[in-house]
Chain A
Amino acid sequence: MDSAEWTGLDADAADSTQRRLGAAPVHCRLSTVHYKLMPRRDDLQRILVLGSGPIVIGQAAEFDYSGAQACKVLLEEGYEVVLVNSNPATIMTDPEFATATYIEPLLPESVAQVIEHERPDALLPTLGGGTALNLARQLSEDGTLDRFGVELIGANYDAIQRAEDRLLFRETMEAAGLRVPRSNVVTSMAEGERALAEIGLPAIIRPGFTMGGEGGGSAATPEEYRERVAEGLAASPIGQVLVEESVGGWGEFELEVMRDSRDNVVIVCSIENVDPMGVHTGDSVTVAPQQTLTDRQYQALRDQAIEVIRAVGVETGGSNIQFAVNPETEEVVVIEMNPRVSRSSALASKATGFPIAKIAARLAVGYALEEIDNDITKRTPASFEPTIDYVVVKWPRFAFEKFPGADGLLSTHMQSVGEAMAIGRTFKQAFMKAMRSRELDVVPPVPAGDADLLARLEQPSHERFELVFAALRRGLGEDEISRRTGIDPWFMAEMAPLARGEDPEAGLVRTFKAVDTCAAEFEAATPYFYSGWERPGPAGPSHEVDRGGRPSVVILGSGPNRIGQGIEFDYCCVHAAMTGRDAVMVNCNPETVSTDYDTSDRLYFEPLTLEDVLGVIEVERPEGVIVQFGGQTPLRLARGLAEAGVPLLGTPPESIDLAEDRPRFGRLCQELGLRTPPYATAGSPEGALEAADGVGYPLLVRPSYVLGGRAMEICYSRDALADYLSRTVPSADERVPTDIYLDRFLENAIEVDVDALCDGEEIRIGAIMQHVEEAGVHSGDSACVIPTMSLGPEMLAQVREGTERLALRLGVIGLINVQFAVHGEEDLYVLEANPRASRTVPFVSKAVGVPLAKMACRIMLGERVGDLGIDAAFARPPGHVSVKEAVLPFDRFPRADSLLGPEMKSTGEVMGVAKDYPAAFGKAQAAAGARLPASGGVFISVTDGDKPSATQLAASLHDLGFRILATGGTAQAIRRMGVPVERIKKIPEGSPNVVDCIDSGAVELVINTPTGSGARADGYEIRRAAVARGIPCITTMSGASAAQRAILAMREGDAPVRPLQELHVAPAHAPRTPA
């Protein structure tokens, strides 16, 4: 033994002790060296943090939660934080969360520009999901990090490679003696055939380096297998897929692991998937802590998880490690590991109260786990494992109703758009709470026959638990259902009484309990609660809430993310918590910043139903409740709350109802001298057809009270309307009393959106946005620009005037959003008014530098708009142009049409900021993942009405050096302009046609404008092919001309990057005139 390795003893003493003992004493391990605690790294000053960009399926608000936490911690530690994220609807991009905030595309070139400009010492890539990690890998590979001397912290390049590269991961696991599923890495179809022979079917196909398992899936037949391999190869940025032994039906478990630079490791949480292997964990119902393993099995997983994080070599931070456990043989295989903060780690943080991202950030800058305090107990260290004395259930939220053509079946490819989490004293309580937290719009239908029902259970679908419950109710046998679904019998036994109507809350009282990380072992200053159901004590329920004596304001959140109600509303709720009152948050979405217990003074993790919210209010006795910030979810509760005598803050709910009620709103506009498109309301399909003649075609049709334009369509003829009604309106016997609204659709109108603040007497316009797409595309899916590009001062004055009249008439106290259409030269129509926070509030706040939601909340609490100190900012002449672009999930639903329309389909948004419109538009497109090409082939196919402008466009693209390709009529029109064009065949004209052309990679940009009903079906295949190849597909002429100008701007040179903090510094001589 080398005496120098003696720990804690000097060499001489060690020698003498050794001589006397003749053997190593217990605890003196030979490999250890004397250590010193090494806190905060002082050699770093400036740290670059990467966000995760727009909300997409597989990568959602959880990375705003983790990124915002990390930025806060790094600033607290005295570092300068440079942040890059393209998503304006994030709290982390609020200017106070970083020293310099860049709203730029998360692409290597843009981030390299930021690095060159800011010269950070280190890059922390582990908090921005797969996007940030991939970006870090690229910046490392292209030499940018070396060139500017930027150190990767949190995870080094080799660890990222070992975790993310399937082959390396497998080698690493095997070297550590861990079992992984048999597998083969495949980079071509030929290799795919060899893998098929070796591994057999069923097999799982996993593309390398994609998020949320995009492009992956399982295959049971050779045909399916080949299709999946081809998709996977196309989806993987490195053209690599892993073909794997199927462990479908095995139990799926996840462990959240943290390791520090001193090699100490803790397991924060175990999560069990109720759905067995084969369903992506993001689409599975999950429960924490795990419920069905014995202690011996669990400890084996725990030991393996520790070995995995060590073998991969994540030096500091959190990792998520997934295992499959064979329920019969107890065999364990390691499935995968994410060497970063993930969706599951956000869930684990919310489930335990252990803030993984915050701690990961501290670990990355040198601290050890034992040097970091547990936030909640304040006096115990973070080097421990949370113990939880409750059960947590997470439920995914799907949006298949938005994507006709998608089959609704679940696989290893994630498709859910959001999630809800619930905490209860028992699995049953938590499960029922999570179920009602989902706020389903539609109850899924259940097959009438038992045989059909049992057959349906075998293929996991988004409605599987409704089917399981129906089967349990019909007494089809727990064992049988368990066998068909692969769901563990323990869960079946828990669900069976619930399915039969047992109420796990019966005879008990709602009792608020604290989430304290330690199962009440230590006193906890926790501000984080959930309701359990318990027998009351002699003095009533023993709540663990100490609300103190200060007045509080309850903010109702927006529940699980869904299309039409996403992170934008959470952003507003978080701002509402920043006004200085005791803020009380109620929400059930584990992905969000609003459910970070640091955001509010008290957090209640509860479903957003009237009963649950009233339970909170009974304990809180708030000064008032805010329902206007969380989208439709809290608005639906407004009436019930008011009836229960709960004081609501801000705009009265009657005004909100008035604005939603089309006929009453139409009359109100008329009173105010504002025009609205001709409209009618009908109570039945027959009535709708009749009323439609009076309104005139084309018309916009929708059921009343919709969010995100659900089931909204444009009909060009009576036939189209009849078809819509037969598809959408339920038959008379199951009809819910829903009115059908018909509005004349204004073709080729420019749509304008306004967000404004109002205190009941005065208003301030936040911004007037002009949509890039024409009216008819849902405002959530349309790109828009601040300031407006083509409206004259008179039109703008009319828009301001109209907004003011509406806001005052509706008695708005807080925010109002008004949508207008400018039709022809000077006709202004009001399309709708929403006296509440809108989806565009975060974008406007970032673009103009005024936090609108926070200001609105101050107004609700009694301040006047004139006293908010925001007039100077509104008066500031805009020195930049901001473009918002929507991000669409069509790549997840390959069979759904990518055409934009009045029904919202986007999951997220990005922002581009530059000195002029074309450059900002180009940045926004790049950030949205549809980077405009600088050269190559452009395919143009437009309707007759668009042909004149399309030929102009073709001419300028030709001048820029693009090859122009077009079909029949469009080609002819372009050729008449004297522009060379390659004519290609339409699909019915045989091969090679336009789709073959796109598939072969000859096209870099598609411009396809379908208006009217005829061209729609033809364009579908073209758009589908473009989406599959990931090339930009523009469906409006206004979008196309913006793209052409952006390409021109791109050619002229890179737009410089500027931080948000510089954009909003008022010039010294800014005129201080009121807005």
Chain B
Amino acid sequence: MFGICLGHQLLCRAVGLETYKLPFGHRGANHPVKELASGRIDITSQNHGFAVVAPDGGHAIAGDEPVRWETDFGAAELSHLNLYDRTVEGLVLRDVRGATVQHHPEAGPGPNDANHIFDEFLSMLG
């Protein structure tokens, strides 16, 4: 299962995370999102007013390492962050086939940087 935007927020809530209203929503086609595992930065389209709270209750991810914790569905990790305000931008579930991103890799208008996410999703499906 792959969640985008509201899908990301729903899946995050399903594994026990909270959501909150951002002081300023993320809108635009130029937000840098960093994939923590690789250091890769995609320029992304964004259109959301709420965001996911990290497992430690923080609104921002302080470090540059993926944040890992155990959930009812096994190992989970926060995989992406927004470099503007370091808010949560993605989740990977390690023990079931599930992942999300907060931004819009499918969006047009907007850059194609994050198209690779769909390739990776397809390869996950085998």
Contacts and interface: CB of A to CB of B under 8 A. Distances in A.
A7 B37 contact: yes
Interface in B4-22: none
A384 interface: yes
Given A32-B38, A32-B40, A264-B41, A26 B111 contact: no
A8 B112 contact: no
Interface stretch (A17-25, A126-134, A565-573): A17-25
Given A264-B40, A387-B30, A521 B126 contact: no
Given A26-B120, A27-B35, A295 B83 contact: no
B115 to A, nearest CB: 9
Contacts of B35: 27
Contacts of B124: 23-26
A267 to B, nearest CB: 8
A315 to B, nearest CB: 16
Nearest to A37: B64
Contacts of A384: 30-32, 43, 83-84
B61 interface: no
B83 A29 contact: no
B28 A8 contact: no
Nearest to B98: A26
A684 B90 CA distance: 80
B52 interface: no
Given A26-B121, A266-B43, A302-B111, A17 B75 contact: yes
Interface in B93-120: 94-95, 97, 99, 108-112, 116-117, 120
A29 B121 CA distance: 11
B84 A8 contact: no
Interface residues of A, number: 37
A28 interface: yes
Contacts, number: 110
A29 B38 contact: yes
B112 A385 contact: no
Nearest to B79: A27
A8 B75 contact: no
Contacts of B126: 23
B50 interface: no
Contacts of A8: 36-37, 65-66, 77
B109 A295 contact: yes
A39 to B, nearest CB: 12
A47 interface: no
B22 to A, nearest CB: 12
Contacts of B41: 264, 369-370, 383
Contacts of A296: 108
Interface in B27-51: 27-32, 34-41, 43
Contacts of B97: 21, 23, 25
Contacts of A27: 35, 37-38, 79-80, 90, 92, 99, 117, 120
Contacts of A23: 97, 123-124, 126
Contact of B112 (A26, A29, A266, A303): A303
Indicate the size class of the contact surface on chain B: 35 or more
A295 B64 contact: no
A25 B93 CA distance: 8
A369 B126 CA distance: 35
A1013 to B, nearest CB: 64
Nearest to B94: A17
Contacts of B80: 27
B94 A26 contact: no
B40 A302 contact: no
B73 to A, nearest CB: 12
Contact of A385 (B30, B64, B75): B30
Interface in A1-58: 7-8, 17, 20-21, 23-29, 32, 35, 37
Contacts of A993: none
B104 to A, nearest CB: 13
Contacts of A7: 37-38
B64 A29 contact: no
Contacts of A521: 24, 27-28
Contacts of B28: 387, 519, 521
A262 B92 CA distance: 23
Given A296-B108, A302-B111, A369-B41, A25 B83 contact: no
Contacts of B95: 17, 20-21
Nearest to A25: B92
B82 to A, nearest CB: 10
B125 to A, nearest CB: 8
A14 to B, nearest CB: 10
Nearest to A380: B84
B116 to A, nearest CB: 8
A862 interface: no
A296 to B, nearest CB: 7
Nearest to B43: A385
A807 to B, nearest CB: 55
**Quick one: which of A8, A25, A32, A369 has the most chain B CB within 10 A?**
A25
Contacts of B38: 7, 27, 29, 32, 35
B24 A262 contact: no
Interface string B52-66: 000000000000111
Nearest to B108: A295
Interface string A857-893: 0000000000000000000000000000000000000
B30 A386 contact: yes
A26 B92 contact: yes
Interface in A717-754: none
A380 B120 contact: no
A25 B79 CA distance: 11
B78 to A, nearest CB: 11
Contacts of B2: 26
Nearest to A34: B37
Interface string A358-394: 0000000000011000000000110111110000000
A299 interface: yes
A87 B114 CA distance: 46
B108 to A, nearest CB: 6
A299 B83 contact: no
B30 to A, nearest CB: 4
Nearest to A517: B30
B80 to A, nearest CB: 8
A570 B64 CA distance: 44
Nearest to B65: A8
A670 B68 CA distance: 89
Contacts of B39: 32, 35, 262, 264
A387 B26 CA distance: 14
A386 B65 CA distance: 27
A29 B2 CA distance: 16
A24 B119 CA distance: 12
Contacts of A267: 43
Contacts of A263: 40
A21 B126 CA distance: 11
A336 to B, nearest CB: 23
Contacts of A35: 38-39
B16 to A, nearest CB: 19
A380 B41 CA distance: 14
Considering residues B41, B79, B123, which has the most beta carbons from chain A within 10 angstroms of its beta carbon? B41
A25 B94 contact: yes
A1039 B88 CA distance: 71
Given A25-B99, A266-B43, A295-B109, A381 B120 contact: no
Given A25-B92, A32-B38, A299 B120 contact: no
Closest CB pairs A-B (n = 5): A295-B109, A32-B38, A26-B99, A7-B37, A385-B30
Given A23-B126, A264-B41, 17 more contacts: A20-B95, A23-B123, A23-B124, A25-B92, A27-B79, A28-B92, A35-B38, A266-B32, A267-B43, A299-B111, A299-B112, A302-B111, A381-B32, A383-B83, A384-B43, A387-B28, A522-B84
12 contacts: A7-B38, A8-B66, A26-B92, A27-B37, A27-B79, A27-B117, A29-B40, A32-B38, A32-B40, A264-B41, A370-B83, A387-B29
